[in-house]
Amino acid sequence: MTVLAHGVGTSTDLPLPLDLVLQAGAATVVLSFLISAFWWRKPRLHPTPPRDLPNLRWLRLPMLALALYLTGNAIIGTRTGNPAAHALFVWLWVGLIPISVVLGPVWRPINPLRTLFDLLRLPPRGLRPLPPGRGAGTWPAAAFLLLFVWFELAVPHHGDPVAVGLFLLSYAVTHLAMAAVRGDEWFARADCFEVYSELAGRLSPLHWRTPLSGLVAPLPAGAGPAAFLAVWWGSTVFDSAATAPWWTGMPLRTAGLVALCALVLLAVRWTSGRLDVTASLIPIAVAYTLAHYLSLLLVEAPRGALLLVQQWGLATGATWTVAPAPELIAGIQIALILIGHAIGVVVAHDRALAADPSRPPLAVLADELPLVLFMITCTWAGLFLLFVH
């Protein structure tokens, strides 16, 4: 599998000088903050009931069949031209984001694990089932996401079809066993891909009646969502930084990955102070992931689909060699990061106003200042790592 996780080309392909891009990034965050401070004097974002998702239940069995085929074929099929790595690292890990941002949290209704659980009719035994809603938290999902990104970023030969198949099999068996004990609500709290889709889906203009209202809807209680976002965003940053030659060997990469994710979580908790800014990190994580993996999605997603149909004896002579222009990719990457951070600033400011409407505006702005400085640092880091590696 050709890994194109970073942008096509390097900083020399930028349509603008890198120092000017970094200045623009800082200016975007500061201007977003100032505009919000002067024009956004009271909370304007309020939770609204989401629209129902399109009926996707007809996709449940086809998705299950595809998942079973990909997993089984990865383990016992040919290693040459096997689409397993594309399915896991491109279609699911990257492709699920734009689909969820447009349509909403689509993974829950078509999750192959839920479908298989329903077909097996596994009743909860032993422990009491997890309560629905806010009480259960999403710490298990953060832990499973860390396990997944560790497999992707630290384990040697992670793109080997057998390794991918065994990972998928062990992931499925673990979740089905836990769901048999704790009920199907386990998937909503522990399946990292379901939580991943749910958080990205909070940006969906089709799922939420008012723009950005999904970002102020209640999150699961506790620090679980913040930990999940720290692993999500921190692992993507690590993927950019880990191209340096000194990141060699699984122990060093494992330690670096865990340390960076923990550092992001501590930084978010410290800079947020008395504010809960977890939801404002969602557009930042979405934007940076899409920017970081944009060329991977555009180049390798169609190539994976071609490999899949070629497994069935179709289009055997076809190849996919389309590669977007580096300048175009660079421009889209810059725009994604700047837009994501601008939305994050606006959402954080709105939540600060809603947290204590009686506080004077200057006091609210003072509370937000550490967060704004943190976001400027994140913007610089994101842009720098995208184009200098």
pLDDT at 332 over 50: yes
Closest-CA residue to 36 (of 273, 280, 226, 270): 280
The number of residues in the chain equals 389
- Domain of residue 298: give its range: 11-387
The model's confidence at residue 133, banded by pLDDT at 50, 70 and 90, is: very low
Q: Long-range contacts of range 357-364, CB-CB < 8 Å, 24 or more positions apart?
A: 357/42, 357/43, 361/37, 361/41
- Give a yes or no: residue 263 inside a domain: yes
Report the b/e string of 280-300 with b at 16+ CB within 10 A: bbbbbbbbbbbbbbbbbbbbb
More confident residue, 195 or 371: 195
> Residue 321: is its pLDDT beyond 50?
yes
Q: From 347, 218, 336, select the one nearest 277 (Cα to Cα).
A: 347
Question: Please, is 133 exposed, middle or buried when counting C-beta atoms within 10 Å of its C-beta (0-12, 13-18, 19+)?
Answer: exposed
Q: What CA–CA distance (Å, rounded) separates 98 from 193?
A: 13
Residue 105 included in any domain: yes
pLDDT classification of 313: cutoffs 50, 70, 90: confident
Residue 9 has pLDDT above 70, yes or no: no
Residue 34: partners with Cβ closer than 8 Å, 6 or more residues away: none
pTM: 0.90
- Contact present, 33 and 40 (Cβ < 8 Å): no
Higher-pLDDT residue of 232, 346: 232
Q: Give the count of domains, the chain.
A: 1
Q: Running DSSP on this structure, what letter comes out for residue 77?
A: S
- Torsion sign (Cα): 336, 339, 342, 346: negative
Q: Minimum mean pLDDT among 65-79, 164-178, 356-370: which range? A: 356-370
Asked if pLDDT for residue 39 goes beyond 90, the answer is no
CA distances from 214 to 198, 207, 366 (A): 10, 8, 26
| 111 contacts 191 by C-beta, under 8 angstroms | yes
In a domain, 21, yes or no: yes
Strand-pairing partners, residue 208, are: 50
The Cα–Cα gap between 230 and 347 comes to: 18
* 2 in a structural domain: no
At 199, is the pLDDT very low, low, confident or very high (cuts 50, 70, 90)?
Answer: very high
180 inside domain:
yes
pLDDT of residue 204: 96
**Which tokens is 129 given?**
């089932």
Question: Is residue 58 pLDDT above 80, yes or no?
Answer: yes
pLDDT top residue among 266 and 33:
266
In a domain, 156, yes or no: yes
Mean pLDDT taken over the chain? 85
Task: Label residue 132 by pLDDT band (50, 70, 90).
Answer: very low
Residue 3, domain member (yes or no): no
Does the residue 6 lie in any domain? no
Inter-residue contact 222 to 278 (CB < 8 Å)? no
Is 134 a residue whose pLDDT tops 50? no
